[in-house]
Amino acid sequence: MDATDLCYLSAVEQKALLDSKEVSVAELVDAQIARIERHNLGLNAVVTFRFDEARAEARAADEARANGTARGVLHGLTVGVKDCFATKGLRTTFASKAFENHVPDYDHLVVQREKAAGAIILCKLNTPEYTMASNLCDNPVFGATRNPFGNNLAPGASSGGSGAALAAGLVSLADGSDIGGSVRNPAAWCNIVGHRPTSWMIPDVPNPLMWHNMNTPGPMARTVADTALFLSALAGPDPRCPVVVSAPFAPGLPDLSIDMKGLRIGWACDHGGLTVDPDIAANFEVQRQVFENLGAIVEPCPIDLSDIEDHYGVLAYQRVSREVEPAVGRGLDAGLEAHYHETRAATGEDVMKAETRRHKLWQDMVLAFAEHDVLIWPDDSTDPFRFDDEAASQEQDWTLLYASPLLGLPTTTVPCGFSGSGAPRGLQVLGRPSADLLTLQVSHAYEQATQFGHQRPAID
């Protein structure tokens, strides 16, 4: 098999080849390393390399499979780790100059579970400083990441390194984190799949504000099936997390088949007058027919999101301000430092107003899910802007992404086509808390009907 084709196979397909011994783990790892060496200079998705260790672990993984001692549902697959997740013995910078040479002595729970499932950590992936300093995947330590579908385009924020690495075939799987859309936006802009799980389903451990439920790790991959397989390795309770949310299915690939006949879909685009690019809105409306052809009942279900941005900010930065505290006064991004001080100065009344608006949004969602099984929205209101356009990144309206972290809803983003210039687009499928399997199944049915995710970027 051609090395490029091997790298672009889904993780499920790669795993089948590894399990059948048609391809060795060593061959897969070598092919991906060669691809990183060929393309990363232009993309800047990978920021810390672990090639020698990965090759040694690949040989050990092949020996284990030969001896019948393969372990875990990800055995022999590679993972790129977002540089906000601590990796024991491997540089983790949080994209901050204050931690440029930081080497943790522990693994984040996500990394622990990746290793326990048999995955090989191949590299660390780029992100903005503390994931929130910019809506560009850019930082003062490593610089900007570019989109494989357009070298002048941003790959999304803040898991842009993960999105770009997957779109370019550099890794089998990549993790991300999502406090405002950072798994879903890069997935849409890089023509891959991202899943924001029900809050606390993948415990965020360690966490400086454990009861804060808006930030969550999430799996990213080239297909819905890969994403589901990856989720199965990451999900489940941990004794260090005070909220217990069960895994949505057993480890391994779940049954993603679903009879869409009669499934009730709530459909909406601008949600109370949000500004959505007319071409994105038109493309989104075209997708309605896909779901109707699959047998679903698609009905209008707008949710008023027109005023939630400021309330979202008050609540999200409770977590962010605690996380950035060690870097305050040590060269931290000026915008992050300003948010830190603003959050410290917030009053109880400010927080109560935000919580009251969140409660109203929850009530609206309860009513929506009383009538519909899932909700489907566009992922983003605009197409990707330039990788270096700070002004455009600040003007971008992320409101369509905010409901899921505010309410802890499982949400799957799946490719839904391209702009006239070839920039990828995505739609998001939202479900009730713990309905992760359903959002993945609906996304899988749509993915199989459209095949948008099969299109590779023109970088080879």
Which residues participate in catalysis according to the annotation?
A: 82, 158, 182
Cβ atoms within 10 Å, residue 288: 14
User: Are the beta carbons of 165 and 80 closer than 8 angstroms?
Assistant: yes
Overall residue count recorded for the chain in this entry:
460
Query: Please, which residues have CB within 8 angstroms of residue 430's CB and are 6 or more apart in sequence?
Result: 374, 375, 376, 377, 403, 404, 409, 410, 411, 439
Q: Please state, in angstroms and rounded to a whole number, the distance separating the CA atoms of residues 115 and 89.
A: 14
Pairing of β 424-430 and β 193-196: unpaired
Q: Please state, in angstroms and rounded to a whole number, the distance separating the CA atoms of residues 290 and 442.
A: 12
Pairing of β 424-430 and β 374-378: antiparallel
Name the DSSP class of 48. E
Query: Please, which residues have CB within 8 angstroms of residue 135's CB and are 6 or more apart in sequence?
Result: 128, 154, 157, 393, 394, 396, 398
Beta bridge partners of 264: 297
According to DSSP H, which parts of 244-347 are helical? Answer: 278-293, 308-324, 334-345
The amino acid present at 355, given as its one-letter code, is E
